[in-house]
Amino acid sequence: MDVFDCIRTRRSIRKYKDKPVPWDNIVEIMQAGKYAPFAGNIMNCKFIVVKDEAKRRSIAECCAQQYWMQDAPVHIVVVGEPQKADRYYGTRGVRLYTIQGIAAAVENMLLTAHSLGLGACWVGAFDEDEIRRNCNLPEDVNVQAIVTIGYADEYPEMPPKLRIEHAMYFEKWWGRIEGPKTGLGMWSPVIKKQVTETHKNIKKAIGRVKKKLKKKKKE
């Protein structure tokens, strides 16, 4: 699958078939997470694979009672190790770089799951203390995300997205520059108006020429 097609067609899946996911697919998904860009190449992230049915039910309860989660045959609890980043980058490593790296890892995992014909969902609403107890986590790590994995039993439509010109500026906040008029995005109405006006002006010019020719013939 082309990478942009994979990005464009990926969806958050909340309905799953009762079908096991091959172990090699699970490993491939975690491998993709491992290859995310971590600051200083500090891979301060761990993956906890949860397949036990009772534990999955418990995790769903801890995630704001999102009971659809328990139907996903695999949960991957993504755990951060902020102290590793703190050694090299201090507070910024803890509060920013760790979160950035793990977010990149999770996105890699979602895209890889989709490319393998699987469905996945990034869950961020959870009671961290309860997840910590469920997974027997030490105090120096924190829960960053839970990724549900399984075979999709739904095919959601693409949600509405902003057009790119509504999400970009040039050089500064609210920076707008007028580039060459193209047929793309916000410029298409401008071009349409200009073309319409040009057609009108051409018709008027032709009309004037015809009148002059008729005059000359009469003379």
Residues 20 and 86 in one domain: yes
pTM: 0.79
In a domain? residue 120: yes
The type of residue at 2 is: D
Are 109 and 189 found together in one domain?
no
Token pair recorded at residue 124: 């961020």
Does 156 fall in a domain? no
Residues 170 and 131 in one domain: no
- Per the structure, the count of domains in the chain is 2
Domain-located, residue 82 = yes
- pLDDT (tens digit per residue) in 112-164: 999 999 999 999 999 999 999 999 999 999 999 999 999 999 999 999 998 88
Model pLDDT, residue 180 = 55
pLDDT digits (tens, 9 = 90+) for 51-93: 999 999 999 999 999 999 999 999 999 999 999 999 999 999 9
Same domain (yes/no): 121, 56: yes
pLDDT on residue 7:
95
Among the candidates 99, 121, 150, a domain finishes at 150
Residues 107, 207: one domain? no
- In angstroms, what is the C-alpha Rg of the chain? 28
Asked whether the CA dihedral 144, 150, 156, 158 is positive or negative, the reply is positive
- Give the containing element (helix H, strand E) for 148: strand 142-150
In a domain, 155, yes or no: no
Q: For residue 211, is pLDDT > 90?
A: no
Q: Are 142 and 102 in contact (CB under 8 A)?
A: no
H/E run at residue 75: strand 74-80
Instruction: Supply the range of the domain harboring residue 188.
Output: 166-219
28 and 105: one domain? yes
Local confidence band at 219 (pLDDT 50, 70, 90 cut-offs): low
Q: How far apart are CA 202 and CA 209, in angstroms?
A: 11
Residue 38 falls within a domain, yes or no?
A: yes
The answer to whether residue 171 sits within a structural domain is yes
- Whether residues 213 and 130 share a domain: the answer is no
Decide which of 92, 117, 150 is a domain's last residue: 150
pLDDT at 213: 80
